[in-house]
Amino acid sequence: MSGSGDGGGAARPARLEPPVTEVSEPFWTATRECRLVLPWCVDCDRAFWYPREVCPRCLGSSIEWRPATGQGRVYAVTVEHKPVMLKSVFGDAPYCIALVELDEGVRLMANIVEVDPLVVDVGTPVVVRWEPMSDGRHLVLFAPGGPVA
C-alpha cells in the first residue's frame, strides 16, 4: 500500500481493524484461535450481540462467553459498488456487507466473501471465515455454505 504522504510510517492494515474494549476482550481473544464466541445472559439463558455489561433483555449482569456454531443465514444484505472510503481500507468493489443471523439467534454485521457479491440473497446459508489482522486477532467474515461437517 504505497502512496505519497504516508510519512514512511507503518503500512496500513488491509481492512479497518476494530478496537478492543474491556467488554469485548473475550470475543477478540477467542478470535486469535479462530473461535467464535458470544455473550450469553445466565439469567435468561440467551445469547446477545453486541458485547455489553448487561443483558439487553432482562438487564442481568451475569454474562458468560459461550462457543457459537459459526453458521447462520443472511438476514439483510447490501452490495457496495463504490467504496465511500479508501480502497486500502475496504478492498475492491463491489463487496458484500450483510447482517447475518446466527443459529444462536443473534445478528452480526460482516462481509460475505468467496462469492460474487451480486448473488448473495436474504436467506443464503453462511458459515464463518477468518481473516488475520495485524495484531494476531482475526476478523469475522462469512461465506456461503451449509453446516460444517
Q: What is the pLDDT of residue 84?
A: 64
What global pTM score does this model have?
0.82
CATH number of the structural domain spanning residue 114: 2.40.50.840
60 within a domain of the structure (yes/no): yes
pLDDT, tens digit (0-9, with 9 covering 90-100), for 13-30: 556 788 999 999 999 999
Backbone phi and psi for residue 83, each to the nearest 5 degrees, phi listed first: -55, 135
Better-scored residue on pLDDT, 1 or 85: 85
pLDDT > 70: percent of the chain: 81
65 within a domain of the structure (yes/no): yes
- Please state the domain count of the chain: 1
Neighbours of 76 (CB within 10 A): 12
Q: Is the pLDDT of residue 37 over 80?
A: yes
15 within a domain of the structure (yes/no): no
Angstrom distance (rounded) from CA 42 to CA 36: 18
Q: What is the pLDDT of residue 16?
A: 77
Q: What is residue 18's DSSP assignment?
A: P
Backbone phi and psi for residue 117, each to the nearest 5 degrees, phi listed first: -55, -25
